[in-house]
């Protein structure tokens, strides 16, 4: 079950890197949140019920409901529906993420760990790669934000792999969720709606 969910998660990453519509981004981020919710229920059975409930509810509320809702609100408010026309074409994006997936597998295999942790390593590295790829290859702030949310999901995936041994690491990782949801999405993107194309005021002449 865990392996299946992780494979689905990887597919969402590939789809994220090639899609152009922002509503699809919001949907995929919500789907990733749902997968993470299921994974947290499956992986953290050994920790105390209170912590488990806290992690599960946080994942469900923030990743499945709040973040996708705010993303859709931003799309509606800003009127921005697609990535910049200067963004990398889908074919090349697919090529880049395939290389990223291979690299993630190679690095994870070199870490010589047990299979249950190995799959988490692969998908986490792949998430970090995809998130950074979205940030670097896209121009609009919205894409950058989605890239960051993907990196943030990588953090949760890694913390799930170790969560049974050191639950505190998951609890602290959740701080990152709340930080992102409230601060980045809630305050600044709303204020930045008139500048959602590119940020170019600050540069060296």
- Name the site residues for other proteins (rule: CB under 8 A): 110-113, 117, 124, 128, 135, 141, 144-145, 148, 151-152, 154-155, 158-159, 161-162, 165-166, 168-169, 172-173, 175-176, 179-180, 183-184, 188, 191-192, 195, 199, 201-202, 204-205
The set of residues, in sequence order, having a beta carbon less than 8 Å from that of 144 and lying 6+ positions away, is 134, 135, 138
Shortest Å, Cβ 70 to other proteins: 15
Shortest Å, Cβ 138 to other proteins: 13
Shortest Å, Cβ 172 to other proteins: 5
* Cα distances (angstroms) measured from residue 86 to each of 52, 82, 97, 140, 175: 44, 11, 18, 10, 35
DSSP 39-83: HHHHHTTTS-HHHHHHHHHHIIIIIIIIHHHHHHHHHHHH---B-
Shortest Å, Cβ 159 to other proteins: 6
CB closer to other proteins out of 38 and 155: 155
CB closer to other proteins out of 53 and 199: 199
**Are 56 and 40 a contacting pair, CB within 8 Å?**
yes
CB closer to other proteins out of 31 and 155: 155
CB closer to other proteins out of 83 and 174: 174
**Are 78 and 195 a contacting pair, CB within 8 Å?**
no
Query: What are the residues facing 21 on neighbouring strands?
Result: 82
Helix/strand/coil for 165? coil
CB closer to other proteins out of 65 and 172: 172
């Amino acid at each position: 079950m865990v392996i299946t969910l992780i494979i689905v998660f990887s597919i969402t990453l590939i789809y994220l890197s090639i899609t152009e519509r922002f509503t699809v981004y919001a949907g995929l981020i919500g789907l990733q949140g749902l997968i993470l919710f299921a994974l947290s229920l499956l992986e953290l059975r050994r920790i105390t019920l209170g912590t488990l409930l806290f992690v599960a509810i946080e994942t469900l509320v923030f990743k499945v409901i709040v973040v996708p809702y705010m993303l859709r609100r931003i799309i509606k408010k800003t009127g921005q529906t697609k990535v910049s026309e200067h963004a990398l074409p889908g074919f090349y994006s697919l090529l880049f993420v395939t290389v990223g997936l291979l690299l993630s597998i190679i690095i994870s295999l070199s870490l010589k760990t047990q299979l249950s942790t190995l799959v988490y390593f692969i998908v986490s590295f792949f998430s970090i790669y995809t998130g950074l790829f979205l940030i670097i290859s896209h121009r609009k702030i919205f894409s950058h934000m989605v890239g960051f949310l993907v990196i943030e999901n990588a953090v949760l995936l890694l913390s799930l792999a170790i969560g049974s041994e050191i639950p505190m690491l998951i609890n602290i990782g959740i701080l990152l969720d709340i930080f992102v949801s409230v601060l980045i999405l809630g305050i600044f993107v709303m204020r930045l709606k008139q500048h959602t194309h590119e940020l170019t005021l600050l540069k060296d002449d």
